């Protein structure tokens, strides 16, 4: 079920109302959590019922593994073997669904496996793994209730595209009482509305321009390809941040607090700073469960750089079964290594220049993320440098890039809203809270403008969220 669907508009109020009714006046959280499990599986299986079996299997494996490590097995070596077996089983499952088709096509194109990637598998496997990791480390006790754990592992706001929550942070919230709270729900609705704004008003319009340029990349000028790739950087941010924002708002309505997944990444003045602001839940997952166990920055400069490269290569592999994603990941890591090596020189640059360079390096790497294959990516990059016609800057009308005058001006207005929202968020950390605290006339004017812009964009037609394919 999509967040940007009529079905979800009906589903969420029903799920929330029943959840609050089951919570009120009951000391036991089991009925309410059981309802969340039922609602989450319905949400997940709405498109394809088969997906639910895999989710249930992952839930059972990690729950049993956590129970054994926490209550049955005493020897550290045996716990380590069980952890390794669990990781191999889950990561192996993820690898099979992501890479079996690609690997079989390399052997024989005629007999390539046609395997459908279950939606959200990369996210809920990584989230479930945090449970066994933290039990192994001794930082949390195993959950005694399977219903409570199943509610955590299948929680519908984060199920399809994150944020990837940590078990010690999210799981205890299922034991707390969550009742109807007007202020909290209002704040959550503002977050959701802004998420829909990012998706429908901005990402959908940017997608039209980017697709038009990339679909005719052999005929486009270097400037047009450069513009299209810069716009794609904005598109993927708006698209993915929109899902995370809607998810956070949805969870807040129910009474849950999720991890902020994006924190104004294009305000970053270095590549390392950008990756601390972008897809925070995934990057912190790799930091805590891969980078630090590999030694982090504790074993010398060379080992630190190798660890960075390993982590971002794995991140590329997590994103997709194509060499383009691996190159994107390696470039993202390489830029941080080079940046660290020339840090004394970069320190002399003005902040605006460092921010600009960071955005351009991100955009260079993201070309591989957008391209259909290496050939297209290399052609686009090559034409940016060899076919850059400065005259086309003046002759290329922005109104001729698929939107027309009205929708292009609408896009500019939307980008202005994005900039203001992010500036306030950078300074306060909670733009939605600032909006909620405004006086009624100002607050309702903001609501009206936001809703009007969303409704004025429905004719564009919102596409599927980009990260659904990961």
For 294, residues 6+ apart whose C-beta sits below 8 A from its C-beta are: 307, 310, 311
Report pLDDT digits (tens) over 237-260.
Answer: 999 999 999 999 999 999 999 999
Mean pLDDT for the stretch of residues 439-448: 92
Q: Is the pLDDT of residue 433 over 60?
A: yes
pLDDT in the model for residue 469: 64
Q: Is the pLDDT of residue 150 over 60?
A: yes
Of the two residues 299 and 100, the one the predictor is more confident about is 299
Q: Is the pLDDT of residue 468 over 70?
A: no
Report pLDDT digits (tens) over 320-359.
Answer: 878 999 999 999 999 999 999 999 999 999 999 999 999 9
pLDDT in the model for residue 112: 56
pLDDT in the model for residue 17: 96
CA-to-CA distance for 178 and 19, rounded, in angstroms? 9
pLDDT confidence tier of residue 26, bands split at 50, 70 and 90: confident
pLDDT in the model for residue 467: 64
pLDDT confidence tier of residue 464, bands split at 50, 70 and 90: low
Mean pLDDT for the stretch of residues 21-36: 90
| Contact present, 335 and 271 (Cβ < 8 Å) | yes
pLDDT in the model for residue 398: 75
Q: Is the pLDDT of residue 394 over 80?
A: no
CA angle, 197 then 198 then 201, to 5°: 60
pLDDT in the model for residue 24: 84
CA-to-CA distance for 112 and 97, rounded, in angstroms? 13
pLDDT in the model for residue 465: 72
pLDDT in the model for residue 49: 87
pLDDT confidence tier of residue 102, bands split at 50, 70 and 90: low
**What are 213's two structure tokens?**
């340029």
| Contact present, 304 and 296 (Cβ < 8 Å) | yes
Q: Which of 200, 235, 194 is nearest to 401 (CA)?
A: 235
pLDDT in the model for residue 4: 84
Share of the chain above pLDDT 70, in %: 95
CA-to-CA distance for 264 and 385, rounded, in angstroms? 29
**What are 385's two structure tokens?**
């440098």
CA-to-CA distance for 373 and 379, rounded, in angstroms? 10
Mean pLDDT for the stretch of residues 365-371: 94
Residue positions annotated with a catalytic role: 319
Mean pLDDT for the stretch of residues 452-468: 75
pLDDT in the model for residue 107: 62
When computed from its CA atoms, the radius of gyration of the chain, rounded to whole angstroms, is 23
Report pLDDT digits (tens) over 172-227.
Answer: 999 999 988 999 999 999 999 999 999 999 999 999 999 999 999 898 888 899 99
pLDDT in the model for residue 306: 96
Q: Is the pLDDT of residue 149 over 90?
A: yes
Mean pLDDT for the stretch of residues 163-171: 97
pLDDT in the model for residue 307: 96
CA-to-CA distance for 175 and 181, rounded, in angstroms? 18
Q: Is the pLDDT of residue 113 over 80?
A: no
pLDDT in the model for residue 445: 93
Q: How far is CA 339 from CA 302, 351, 357, in A?
A: 14, 15, 11
* Average pLDDT of every residue of the chain: 91
pLDDT confidence tier of residue 315, bands split at 50, 70 and 90: very high
pLDDT confidence tier of residue 105, bands split at 50, 70 and 90: low
Q: Is the pLDDT of residue 104 over 70?
A: no
- How would you class 105 by CB atoms within 10 Å of its CB: exposed for 0-12, middle for 13-18, buried for 19 or more? middle
pLDDT in the model for residue 237: 97
pLDDT in the model for residue 62: 98
pLDDT in the model for residue 205: 92
pTM value is 0.93
Q: How far is CA 348 from CA 266, 311, 315, 352, 378, in A?
A: 20, 29, 31, 12, 32
pLDDT in the model for residue 448: 93
Mean pLDDT for the stretch of residues 363-387: 93
């Amino acid at each position: 079920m999509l967040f940007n669907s009529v079905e979800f508009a009906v589903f969420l109020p029903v799920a929330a109302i029943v959840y609050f009714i089951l919570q009120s006046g009951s000391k036991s959280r089991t009925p309410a959590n059981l309802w969340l499990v039922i609602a989450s599986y319905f949400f997940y299986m709405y498109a394809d019922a088969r997906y639910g079996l895999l989710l249930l299997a992952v839930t059972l494996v990690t729950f049993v593994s956590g129970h054994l490590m926490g209550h049955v097995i005493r020897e550290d070596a045996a716990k380590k073997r069980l952890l390794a077996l669990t990781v191999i089983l889950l990561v192996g499952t993820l690898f099979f669904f992501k890479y079996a088709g690609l690997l079989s096509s390399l052997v024989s194109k005629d007999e390539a496996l046609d395997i459908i990637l279950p939606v959200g598998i990369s996210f809920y496997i990584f989230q479930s793994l945090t449970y066994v990791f933290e039990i192994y480390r001794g930082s949390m006790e195993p959950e005694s209730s399977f219903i409570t754990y199943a509610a955590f592992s299948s929680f519908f706001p984060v199920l399809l595209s994150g944020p990837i929550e940590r078990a010690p942070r999210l799981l205890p919230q299922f034991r707390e009482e969550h009742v109807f709270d007007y202020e909290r729900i209002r704040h959550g609705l503002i977050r959701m509305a802004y998420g829909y704004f990012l998706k429908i008003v901005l990402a959908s319009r940017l997608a039209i321009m980017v697709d038009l340029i990339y679909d005719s990349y052999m005929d486009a000028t270097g400037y047009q390809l450069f513009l299209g790739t810069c716009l794609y950087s904005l598109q993927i941010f708006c698209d993915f941040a929109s899902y995370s924002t809607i998810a956070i708002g949805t969870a807040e309505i129910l009474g849950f607090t999720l991890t902020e997944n994006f924190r104004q990444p294009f305000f970053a003045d270095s590549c390392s700073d950008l990756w601390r602001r972008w897809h925070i839940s995934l990057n912190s997952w790799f930091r805590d469960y891969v980078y630090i166990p590999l030694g982090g920055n504790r074993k010398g400069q060379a080992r630190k750089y190798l660890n960075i490269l390993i982590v971002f290569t794995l991140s590329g592999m997590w994103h997709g079964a194509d060499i383009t994603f691996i190159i994107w990941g390696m470039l993202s890591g390489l830029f941080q290594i080079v940046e660290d090596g020339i840090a004394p020189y970069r320190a002399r640059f003005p902040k605006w220049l460092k921010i600009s360079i960071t955005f351009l390096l991100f955009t260079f790497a993201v070309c591989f993320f957008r391209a259909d294959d290496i050939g297209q990516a290399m052609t686009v990059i090559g034409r940016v440098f060899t076919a850059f016609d400065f005259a086309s800057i003046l002759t290329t009308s922005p109104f001729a890039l698929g939107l027309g005058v009205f929708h292009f001006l609408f896009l500019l207005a939307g980008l202005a809203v994005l900039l203001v929202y992010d500036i306030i968020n950078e300074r306060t950390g909670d733009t939605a809270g600032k909006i909620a605290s405004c006086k009624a006339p100002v607050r309702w004017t903001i609501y009206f403008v936001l809703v009007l812009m969303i409704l004025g964009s429905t004719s564009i037609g919102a596409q599927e969220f980009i990260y659904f394919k990961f």
